[in-house]
Every structure is written in C-alpha cells, then in structure tokens.
Amino acid sequence: MQGKLSRPSFKNVKRILVKIGSRVLNTGQGLNYRVIERICDDLSMLKDRGIDIGIVSSGAIAAGNALLGIRDHNVGLSKKQALAAVGQGKLMSAYNDAFTRYGYKVAQILITLEDLENRKRYLNVRNTLSALLEFGVIPIINENDTVAVEEIQFTDNDMLASMILPIMEAGLLIILTDTDGVYSADPKRSKNAERISVIEHLKSSDVDRASPLAGKWGRGGIESKLKAAYHASLLGVPTIIASAYTDHVVSEAINGNDLGTVVLPSRRKKITSRGHWMSFVKRPKGSIYVDDGALRAILDSGKSLLPCGVTGIKGEFKTGDAVEIVDKTGKVIAVGLSNFPSHELEQVKGANTKDIARILGKECDDEVVHRDNMILRKEMA
C-alpha cells in the first residue's frame, strides 16, 4: 500500500455501485434520514447526468432495533432476522421518499449468498439488475437477512457489494462509511495517523494486516472495505472509500477531488466475472491434493487437472462444486469446478485417463478440473 500518488478522476464512468453502511444510516434512535436524503440528492444529480446507480444498503437491523425500541445489539440470530424484517421496509421507504423528490424510482433486491453461489440464480440476478437499470430504476440491494443463517451469510455488506459489482457491471465502487477513507494507523488512537489518498497494488496480505474494526450496528470494518476494494481491483474496477457525511461526496469523488481513499484497479490481467464467481462467491466444498507432475502441468503449462495427478481428496463434493487444488506442501494453488463427485474421484485418483470409464463403469470427462474452470491463486495474490 502507498500514498502520494496522483488522484484520478472518474468523470467518464457510466455505472456506479454505492455501498452505504449501517453506521452512517443510523442515529442510534432510528434511521438517519438527513444523511439518506443528502446522499440521494447527490446521486440524483449523477442520475441526471446519465450515470446508472445501484446501491447496496445496510441498516435494516438497526432500523428494526430502533423501531421496536430494542437497545441491546446482541439479541441472537433469529431476533436479528426479525428486526431486519421490521426495518427493511422502513429503509426502503426512506430511499423511496428521497429519490421520489427527483422523479426517480427504486427497487428492492434482497439476496442470500446461496442465491449467488447458484450460477443460474446468479445470472438471473444479473438479468433483473440489467432490466432495472434499463428502466432507469435505482436498485437498492441488501442481504435477505430474514432467511440467511449464520453459515450462509455474507460476512458483511462490503462483501455483498463486491459480489454485486461484476453482476451489475459497474465501473466504480464507492463505499460510504463514517471515516474519511483509510488511514496509515487508527486515527482514534494515533495522532500521526494520516489519510491515504491513493492505494496502488493492493495485495491480499495488505488486507489481512488491516484493523478489523467493526461497528456495533453493521458487521464490516475497514478490513472488509479493503477486502471489497481488493476484489474490485482484481476485476479492474477502482474503489473509493469515503465519508458519507461529506457534502456531495460521490460527485466530488468522481470529479477527482482529494477526499477519502481511492484504491486503483490492479494492473494485471483482469479476472473475468465468472473467474470472480469461481474464486470468491462459490465457496469450496472440498480439496483435491495433487502431485508435482500435476502441479507443474497446471502452473507452468496451463493444463487441466487429470485423475492421474490426484493423490488425495478432502471433503464431500458434487459435480460442479467448487474445490481447492492443493499441492503436497498443503498450499492452495488454484480453485476450480470439479467434473467428478468426491466419491467417484476417490475411485479414480491416480488412474490413467484410458482406465477411468472402466473403473467407474460409465463414460465421463477426462479432466477432473478443466483449465477453463480453474483460477490460479498466483493470479490473485
């Protein structure tokens, strides 16, 4: 990570995704209508200029908390889900009122991680989003908190936004929060903490080192914002992390004014939206261990993984599930989609291609993971 780089402007961007966090949307006594209105004023101006806008908005649980007068934030999952059900309508009505003043319409989209893991549903979300944008409607997206249980939740809405980004084909991600960007140290603790204006070459290891400060309302902290920005950078999309309290924050940031932190897109070959889906949306269901021959074939010659290179299998997976490909030292070298269910792979591991049909008693794919369905970890470091 580094600062002191020149600040790009994004005046030519056609479509932006704005993520607004729980911390800024709540006063503690309910939704912060003033902030919502100010952000929507600014976004309406951009809509007037012909820019497509999508919003990922948190705030449902906190709005539900306030509506039911519940002060305790640790109420347990099912109560949180109930609070989200109460608050989500209130949240939508706030956006609806704010945008109606400018003649713009909004649509509610509630999504679970399982929806996005399923390729068909993922593509359905894409079609719906595309139709909404074509109608000139502003989609307001949140996690479907009411049905998502802990193990299938997005870690937070920053993560949800990074997943929506390629689906919406947005050219810029803006994360609005309660701090003016990313600082060199925790500004609440260190006088010397400086805002970093531009970050180039953000690596996954930089993200791991960032402080995981999460707010009491929402689930994400600065670490999750950097993680979302890192995913965006791999997709070739810049991210601006800025304070929701700055006047006209989005248009100022688009004009290239020095506020918040810009994370520049990676200079490497972009990963495709399908590559992003395989690497970051679809959670791996198991691991396939490979020998040195397969390792070299995959890493050096761009080959598929064949059964003869497989030495072991961990976990239970079905055909089409995501798996990690692991070398003999235990290092994950790639992720991909398996053509074999784990119980069949167990039978054919180490076998020659010509023997596979005989062993399984049926015709099947030659490759365990085809190269087209594989993303190397080194492409994402």
Helix (H) or strand (E) holding 41: helix 33-48
Span between the terminal Cα atoms of the chain, in Å: 14
Among 24, 61, 173, 242, the residue binding ligand GLU under the rule CB under 6 A is 61
Among 52, 156, 169, 321, the residue binding ligand GLU under the rule CB under 6 A is 156
d(CA 223, CA 226): 5
Q: Nearest 5°: phi and psi at 256?
A: 95, 10
Does position 157 interact with ligand GLU (CB under 6 A)? The reply is: yes
Alpha-carbon torsion (221, 224, 230, 233), positive or negative? negative
Burial label, 126 (beta-carbon count in 10 A; 0-12, 13-18, 19+) = middle
Stretch that binds ligand GLU, among 101-109, 132-140, 214-222, 354-362 (CB under 6 A): 214-222
Does position 142 interact with ligand GLU (CB under 6 A)? The reply is: yes
Residue pair 205/224 in contact (Cβ under 8 Å)? The answer is no
Burial label, 146 (beta-carbon count in 10 A; 0-12, 13-18, 19+) = middle
Question: Of 168, 217, 186, 277, which Cα lies nearest the Cα of 62?
Answer: 217
**DSSP 8-state assignment for residue 277:** I
Among 139, 166, 220, 265, the residue binding ligand GLU under the rule CB under 6 A is 220
Question: Taking CB positions, which residue lies at the least distance from ligand GLU?
Answer: 218
Based on CB atoms, which residue is closest to ligand GLU, 61 or 82?
61
Among 181, 218, 238, 307, the residue binding ligand GLU under the rule CB under 6 A is 218
The least CB distance from residue 143 to ligand GLU, in Å, is 4
Q: Nearest 5°: phi and psi at 140?
A: -115, 115
The least CB distance from residue 64 to ligand GLU, in Å, is 8
Among 42, 52, 115, 145, the residue binding ligand GLU under the rule CB under 6 A is 145
The least CB distance from residue 145 to ligand GLU, in Å, is 5
Does position 221 interact with ligand GLU (CB under 6 A)? The reply is: no
- CA distances to 84, 147, 219, 243 from 78, rounded to whole Å, are 10, 9, 16, 31
d(CA 155, CA 24): 19
What is the contact mask toward ligand GLU in residues 83 to 122, using x (rule: CB under 6 A)? -x--------------------------------------
The least CB distance from residue 366 to ligand GLU, in Å, is 43
The least CB distance from residue 62 to ligand GLU, in Å, is 6
**DSSP 8-state assignment for residue 96:** H
Stretch that binds ligand GLU, among 70-78, 97-105, 215-223, 242-250 (CB under 6 A): 215-223
Query: Site residues for ligand GLU, window 229-288 (CB under 6 A)?
Result: none
Does position 22 interact with ligand GLU (CB under 6 A)? The reply is: yes
Residue pair 183/226 in contact (Cβ under 8 Å)? The answer is no
Strand, coil or helix: 354 = helix
Based on CB atoms, which residue is closest to ligand GLU, 141 or 335?
141
Among 32, 47, 59, 373, the residue binding ligand GLU under the rule CB under 6 A is 59
The least CB distance from residue 87 to ligand GLU, in Å, is 7
Task: Using CB under 6 A, list all residues that contact ligand GLU.
Answer: 22, 58-62, 84, 142-143, 145, 156-157, 218-220
